[in-house]
Structure formats: C-alpha cells, structure tokens
Amino acid sequence: GQGVGRKDDQPFEDASAHFVRSLTFRSADGDRYSEIATQISNMKRDAVKREQEKKDMEDVVEQDKLMEIRNRRPAVLDNVYIRPAMEGKRVPGKVEIHQNGFRYQSPLNAQHRVDVLFSNVRHLFFQPCQHELVVIIHIHLKDPIIVGNKKKTKDVQFYREATDIQLDETGNRKRKYRYGDEDEFEAEQEERRRRTELDRLFQIG
C-alpha cells in the first residue's frame, strides 16, 4: 500500500484513525485481480450500509419500560394485526393496555412484541369500520421506535378486518359468516351490527 496517512480535513469519530488513499496490487493472475476488486467493492458497500443504518437510528431514543398491570387482567383486544408488520408469518396477535402504554404481542414468539408508551404518543386516530374494510387505531409517535426486524417508524397501526369474524352480544367469536338461504335484509342487519360491535370494542379497548 502507498500514501497512507491521516485525513485531517474531515471529522471522524476515532481521532487516531488512518485512511488508505491508494493501494497497488501486482499479480500475473487476472482472476485474482477480479477477486480482490470484488472483495474491496463488497467491503465498501458494507461500510456504507453500516454508516447509513447508524445514521438512520440517530433519532431513535430508548423508551422507558412498560409498566405492566400485575394485580388484574389488562384490557385486551384480540385478533389484531399491526403495521408495520412483524417478521415471520402474518398472524393476528393481541393488544394489551397497561399502566403507561400499549403492548402488542405476537402469538408466535414471546419476544415478538411492540411497546408503545403513552408519553411517546403525539396523535391517536380511530377509524371506524362502518364504511371501511378494517377498523383501525392509528398512533403517530413523537419519537420513532423499532418494529420487527429493524423497521424504524413513527406511525403504528392496530387493526382488524371487518369481515373476519362474527361477534355475538358479549363479544365472543362465532363461526365465520356465510351467505346462504339467510334473508338478505337480516344479513345486512347482522353485518351492520357486527361492524358496530367492532367499533365499540376498539373504542373501549
């Protein structure tokens, strides 16, 4: 290697770092040249990727711990999906409401969970499902959090599809609704009642 020296004109975290300005390779093997060039390109690409990931995470602040409700069962919304989605198979989880925030828990893995503290909520929107396909709680955060596999986001949604299940008056799950010989008017009434019940569950959850 030649021309190795300090690059003082640009700031760098490590004050003792040195920068390689040029490298010279000699070989009679052309394939070896290609291999070295590929290794250098991969090294540069990985370094740029690490720096970009580090920069992307600069505004992510460590949240306080979620204070779980211990002496009673927390309010729970079951069969709920989250956006951004968690890694792995798409399955519904549950949202628990604790003393200082929400917790989304995936049924696939106890480590697959997302905590959203009330103190980090800037805006919270509720979208009823009366004229929509889903009922949604949309949370816009003050500071971004990490969801799933390093997904940084300032917006989190908890939602349930309006046509997924049928509910009785107590909120219990019944069989999926199937149109058959049921009277059309009764089917429309049932659909309207079911959507109203979903809205109620999300509002009081």
How confident is the model at residue 55, as a pLDDT? 78
DSSP 172: -
Q: Rounded CA gap, 112 and 127, in Å?
A: 25
92 located within any domain: yes
48 located within any domain: no
* Token couple for 85: 């989605």
199 located within any domain: yes
Beta bridge partners of 141: 121
- pLDDT digits 0-9 by tens, 104-135: 999 888 888 999 999 999 999 988 877 777 88
Burial class (CB in 10 A: 0-12, 13-18, 19+), 110: exposed
What is the total count of domains within the chain? 1
Beta bridge partners of 160: 135
Percentage above 70 pLDDT, the chain: 73
Q: What is the pTM of this model?
A: 0.58
13 located within any domain: no
Residue-range definition of the domain harbouring residue 148: 76-166+175-204
How confident is the model at residue 63, as a pLDDT? 79
* Token couple for 17: 């770092």
How confident is the model at residue 10, as a pLDDT? 55
Worst-scoring range by mean pLDDT, 96-100, 167-171, 190-194, 196-200? 167-171
Phi then psi for 99, rounded to 5 degrees? -65, -40
* Token couple for 94: 């549950």
99 located within any domain: yes
Worst-scoring range by mean pLDDT, 110-114, 138-142, 187-191? 187-191
Whether residue 85 contacts residue 69, with contact meaning beta carbons closer than 8 Å, is answered with: no
Q: Residue 139 maps to which CATH number?
A: 2.30.29.150
44 located within any domain: no
Q: How confident is the model at residue 85 (pLDDT cuts 50, 70, 90)?
A: confident
What spatial distance separates the first Cα and last Cα of the chain, rounded to whole Å? Answer: 65
198 located within any domain: yes
- Looking at residues 140-169, what average pLDDT do you find? 78
How confident is the model at residue 52, as a pLDDT? 81
184 located within any domain: yes
**What average pLDDT is seen over the chain?**
78
Q: Rounded CA gap, 120 and 123, in Å?
A: 9
